Amino acid sequence: MAAQRGGDDPVSEYLQQNPHLAGWVDSLRGFCETSKQWSARREFILRNMEGQGVPAAQPGAHSPSLDRLL
């Protein structure tokens, strides 16, 4: 989901359509992560949430599968 020429990248578009996930996933960003690192990690998290059996993102909710993904 790298940035595409002539439009928004798919990750940003997905987060605009799912605003409840946007705040949650942004809270996972590490203090020392560069924008490039965070962009790749954010994409990885969003692409692999369902495949790893991570339940729908809810603030404050943690599970072993979410911990493993992160």
Q: Identify whether the C-beta of residue 15 lies closer than 8 Å to the C-beta of residue 25.
A: yes
Q: How much is the pTM? A: 0.68
Q: Per-residue pLDDT for 14 more than 50? A: yes
Q: Are 54 and 70 in contact (CB under 8 A)?
A: no
Handedness of CA 31, 8, 57, 66 (dihedral sign): negative
- pLDDT digit string, tens, across residues 33-59: 999 999 999 999 888 887 655 555 555
Question: Which residue, 29, 64, 54, 53, is CA-closest to 43?
Answer: 29
| The token pair that represents 3 in the structure block | 């940035």
Look at the block and give the residue holding tokens 């590490």. 30
